[in-house]
Every structure is written in C-alpha cells, then in structure tokens.
Amino acid sequence: MRIAVIGCGAVGSLFAANLSLLDDVEVWAFDLNELHMAAINRDGLRLSGAGDVSGRPRATANAAELPACDFGIVATKAMHTESAIASTAHAFADGCVATVQNGIGNEETLARHVERVIRGTTFPAGKLLEPGHVQWDVKGDTTLGPYDERTPFAEVERLADACTRAGMPAHAVEDARGPQWRKVIFNASTNPIGALTGLTHGRVCERPDLRALVSGLVDEGKAVAAAQGIELDADPEELIDHAAQPEVAYDHKASMLQDVEARRQTEIDYLNGGIARFGRENGVPTPLNEAIWALIKGMEASWTQS
Amino acid sequence: MTKVVVAGAGAIGSLLAAHLARVADVTVLTRREEHAAALRRDGLRVSGRGDFTAELGATADPAELPADAGLAILACKGTDLEPLAARLGGRLAGATVMTIQNGLGAEEVVAGHGDWPLLSAVTFMSGTRHGDAHVEYVLDTATWIGPYRGTSEAEARRVAELIEAGGLKAEAFPDLRPAQWSKLVFNATVNGVAALTGLPHDFHFAQTGQLSDLGGLVRDLVDEGKAVAAAAGVALHDDPWEMNVLATQRGHRHFPSMLEDVEARRPTELELINGSLVREAQRLGVPVPLQTAVYRLVKAREASYSE
C-alpha cells in the first residue's frame, strides 16, 4: 500500500512518521517546505514528546514526483487545500484522499479534484521544531468516513486499519460528520474568542458573560448541524468545560490566538465561516458566527495596513 | 469677559480652552501640576486647522479656580469624570456646567456632585495632543449643545455662540438626545469594532459585498442601536450608518480612542458607550445580541491586560 501525506506540517508529520514504520506501507511526504523535506530525506523524520519515533518516509517538495498512491492524507491548513490538491491530484486517480484538516468545506474542495474522498477528523497535535523534527504534544483519535457513495467503505477501513497499526488510532464510520462538527463547533466557539480578547481558554470560560457568548456560538453551530441531520458524537459544551479545567487546557492559548499574535492568516473561513455558509444553505441564521467571522477578517486586514 | 473653566486638557479640552481663550477669560484645570505650569509658562499652541498660541490660566488645584466663573466645561475622558466631578463639589457656585463625554450618563454623574445648572454636549471635532502645551486641530466638525437640567435652549445657544466666536463649530438644540443617541450608536459600533479588529475607521467599515465583510456587521450593530433608540422614544438626528459611510469617505484614517486605548492597554470608555447602550436595551427589552457580544469582547480584552 502506498500513502502520500499532503501537507507535512505538525499533524501531517505525525501521520507520515508513524505510518512509515509499517512494513506493508510505503509513505511519501509532500510539502512546499523544502528544508523540512530535505532534512527528512537526509536524516529521517523524528517525533519526540508524547511518543518518540524515527520514521523514514520519502519526502518531496515537487508534486510531479509523487507516484500513483492508494491513499492521500491531506493535512495542510484549510486555506491551502485547493492549491495542494490541484497540484497532487494526479497521484490519486485510482486512490482515495482523506482530509484530517480543521474546519468544514475541505471535503468539497477535494471532491472537485479527485473521485473518492474520505472525511476525517483528528485530534493529535504537535509543532514543527526544526526541519525533520516535530514535537508530538497530544495523542488522540482519528475518525474517518466516506464523503459520498463513490468512496468504498472497505477502503476507509483499510486506511483506518493502517493508521491504527501505526500507533495513530483511527475508526472507520459510515457518517463521520458528527465528530467533525463537534470539533468545528468547539474550535469556532472558543478559538476566535481567545484571539479577539487575548485570554487563555480557561479565562474565557470563567467569565460568565463571555462563556454565555461561547454558548451562543455553540447553539448556532448545533442548529446548523441539526438542520443537516448530523448527530454530534458528543456535546461541544462538555468538551469546552472539560478543557477549561486547570489540569487540561486552562492556560492554553488557542492556536488562533497564537496565529494573530504572530500575524499569521487564520482558518476562520473554515470554522465560523464554514458554519455561516452551511447555515445560509440550510436556512439557519448564524448572526454571532458571522459577526466573529467578520471581526477576525477585519483583524487580518489590519495587518496589511499602515 | 466671561470667565470659563475648562476641566480636563486632553485633545478636546485643549481645543476648547485654546479657542475660547480668544474670546473669554479661560482657566484650565489639569490633573498634573506640571501640565498646569507648562500652560501658564508657554500658553497653549494650536496647529493643524488653526495656528496660534493662546494665553490662559491653568491650575491643578480646584481651590484656585475663579469662584465667579459663568461656565465650566468638563472635558475629561468618561472614565475620569466621576473623580473630576467630586473634586468640583461645593465649588463654581455661579457656573453652568457642561458635559461633553462620549456615551450616555455623564450628566447624571455630574448631577450627583452639585446642583449646578447643566448643559449636555457631544462633539465630533477631533485633535491630537503633541505635548502638554500643544494640540493639533484635526477634524473641524461641530459640537452640539442642548439643555439638561435647569437650563434652556437659549442658554445652550449662548454657549454655542461663544464657542463659534472662538473659532470652533457649534450648534444648539432644544433637545440633545437625538444627536447624543446618534453619536452613541455610532461610537458603540465603530469604536468597539475598531478596538477588536485593530483597524482604524476606514473603508472596511462600509464594505458589504461578502458575507464576511465588516460593513455587514457594522450595519447590523447600527440596526440594533437604532432599535434601542426607537424603544427609548428618541428620533435619531442622523443615521449612524450614514455617519459611518461618510466618515470612511473622508480619505483619512481615524483611530478611535477605544482602539488607541486597547493598544496602549488603558481602560476604555466602554462602560459609558457600549455598556450604557446594552443596559438601555436590557431595560427596554430590546434584544441586542451583537452589541452585547462586542461589549463583552472589549470588556474581556481589558481584562487580558493583566495576562
């Protein structure tokens, strides 16, 4: 079996390094970060932290070098999905492409370029320390499901099985929208609030007025999910309160807060923006998500001024 | 000559004091003694739309204010009004007192510290302080004045005429609330959005082509504010959305004070502006989810200063 990881930042590297340990899988890593790719080819791909792994995927920054693959795992930031799949689709003419990205709308983008798409949601996290070396912060599960009837369920199971054997537990389910929407609603209701206020997750949650705003955002997201017949696998509110505990993520600065502090473009279009777009399509009003979307877009616009 | 006290010498106070000093006997009340000393020594220079230096009296001690002043303008920031009014308690017995703060509620704060006749004002002019004794006159838009307690439109007109004689723009109204509410809705919206996004008041605030464009949010926030005004029985003097569009077309990028405050990690005028709008909405039973969200977000932003 041949698997190509498209977008080899922190999360992509976790998949690439672990999967490359399997004897029956040939792993390719594709990313535009040439230093990272060269380091992987020279020294291998090292993970440290939650797990210590030295993997040996083949790495390239040149999409044309990718051979025909059975599976793709797309792990770019959501705003790069279109360009990533446009340049690599040739490798998946007979394969399936899974997204393990944040947000909603990535599957639709992939489906414009490849036939068989797998919807995925993943919870492991890490960060790129230096070329060839990724810190593995959190272990976590991955849920995979067919995007539509063109994707055989047996293929979804085959990919989930490979991930699980490689130490990245994955479940194949018929409808993977539940976990996806739970994560999106969680992220959309908390990350931008941290980014706009500068507060950590715990401090957002301990201010009753702000926590109520978070719930307002959650409620809109739930209504949009419900209108599509999506059953959330758990209540995002529980995830939010769980994360607010001191020993979990009280002091955690949301990745979006880290993004805005570094003035990096955020994934807001695929979080609150995704909820708002699907809300419009399903006749569900999402005024708070639209407001937060516009505020973060305004913040991004302020960096290119002055 | 009329004796006028201008209490608070930020940009607005400085502009009023310098211009009024050409037609009245002005004493400025500052918070810091060195600020008063600089004004006494150097006078107060105006640049930008004006170019002159005014001679005026200045003190940091309320006891040294002229007891026979006929007019006192309280021109401090809203966050400083309560302590300022307290310092003036029992003084300026013959003066009419005029507030000029953003938002709602300044008059009530002052009324709690003395039984002076009161005038309300809102100002649309702007300036930039370049030091204790130098202010740049930037936007030459008007100051609007109306009666509040124990005063009449005629008295508002006399003060407006005095300000005009000094070279600034001013207009009197029989009831200031329509103008005050127009500015309240405008400020709550524009200042809040600017403080959260870091954008000065520029073209983004009027852009409405796409779902995520900021102008759509600005318009929705204005609509909520209009609904509160209507429930309060106030017929707005200007449409805050049109005020917004007009201001973004002036071609210069205005940095609202709330944006400057959060960037400098100072307390903002949030409570007087957004807080009073949201509380009025609650009292009148008007749902304002978006204004409430902006209010809570800026309030939390202030809380983050200690992180």
pLDDT band at B116 (very low <50, low <70, confident <90, very high): very high
The closest alpha carbon to A297, from B215, B200, B214, belongs to B214
Structure tokens at B305: 């200063």
CA distances from B302 to B190, B259, B262, B265, B306 (A): 17, 11, 7, 7, 8
Does residue B296 sit at the A interface (CB-CB below 8 Å)? Answer: yes
Query: A298, B211: Cβ pair inside 8 Å?
Result: no
Query: A290, B193: Cβ pair inside 8 Å?
Result: no
Structure tokens at A292: 């937060």
**What pLDDT score was predicted for residue A137?**
87
Give me the residues of chain A with pLDDT under 50, please: none
CA distance B261 to chain A (A): 14
**What pLDDT score was predicted for residue A305?**
64
- Cβ atoms of residues B64 and B95 within 8 Å: no
Positive or negative torsion for Cα B93, B98, B99, B104: positive
CA distance B304 to chain A (A): 6
The closest alpha carbon to B301, from A199, A207, A188, belongs to A199
φ/ψ of A249, rounded to 5, equals: -145, 30
**Mutation for testing the A interface, residue in B304, B305, B306 having most A CBs under 10 Å:** B304
pLDDT of B233 strictly over 60: yes
Structure tokens at A197: 């206020």
Query: For A68-108, how does the pLDDT look when each residue is reduced to its tens digit (9 = 90+)?
Result: 999 999 999 999 999 999 999 999 999 999 999 999 999 99
**What pLDDT score was predicted for residue B200?**
94
* Mean of pLDDT values over B133-154: 95
Query: B216, A290: Cβ pair inside 8 Å?
Result: yes
The complex's ipTM? Answer: 0.89
Q: Which string of b and e fits B50-60 if b means at least 16 CB within 10 Å?
A: beeebebbbbe
Does residue B107 sit at the A interface (CB-CB below 8 Å)? Answer: no
Does residue B198 sit at the A interface (CB-CB below 8 Å)? Answer: yes
Query: For B20-77, how does the pLDDT look when each residue is reduced to its tens digit (9 = 90+)?
Result: 999 999 999 999 999 999 999 999 999 999 999 999 999 999 999 999 999 999 999 9
**What pLDDT score was predicted for residue A248?**
79
pLDDT of B243 strictly over 90: yes
pTM: 0.89
Q: Between A207, A276, A291, which is nearest B293 by CB?
A: A291
φ/ψ of B59, rounded to 5, equals: -155, 155
CA distance B60 to chain A (A): 36
Beta-strand relationship, A133-138 and A125-130: antiparallel
Compute CA A163 distance to the chain's CA centroid, rounded to the nearest angstrom.
16
Q: Between B214, B216, B293, which is nearest A288 by CB?
A: B293
Residue B178 contacts by C-beta under 8 Å, 6 or more apart in sequence?
Answer: B234, B235, B236, B237
**What pLDDT score was predicted for residue A249?**
78
**B282 vs B242: CA distance, rounded Å:** 26
Query: For B262-287, how does the pLDDT look when each residue is reduced to its tens digit (9 = 90+)?
Result: 999 999 999 999 999 999 999 999 99
Burial bucket for residue B77 (CB in 10 Å: 0-12, 13-18, 19+): buried
Strand-pair partners of B123: B143
Query: B307, A198: Cβ pair inside 8 Å?
Result: yes
A296's enclosing H/E stretch is helix A287-303
A contact set with B (CB within 8 A):
193, 196-200, 203-204, 207, 209-210, 212-213, 216, 269, 273, 276-277, 280, 287-288, 290-295, 297-299, 301-303, 305-306
Per residue, the 3-state secondary structure of B192-212, as one string, reads: HHHHHHCCCECHHHHCCCCCC
pLDDT of B199 strictly over 70: yes
Query: A198, B304: Cβ pair inside 8 Å?
Result: yes
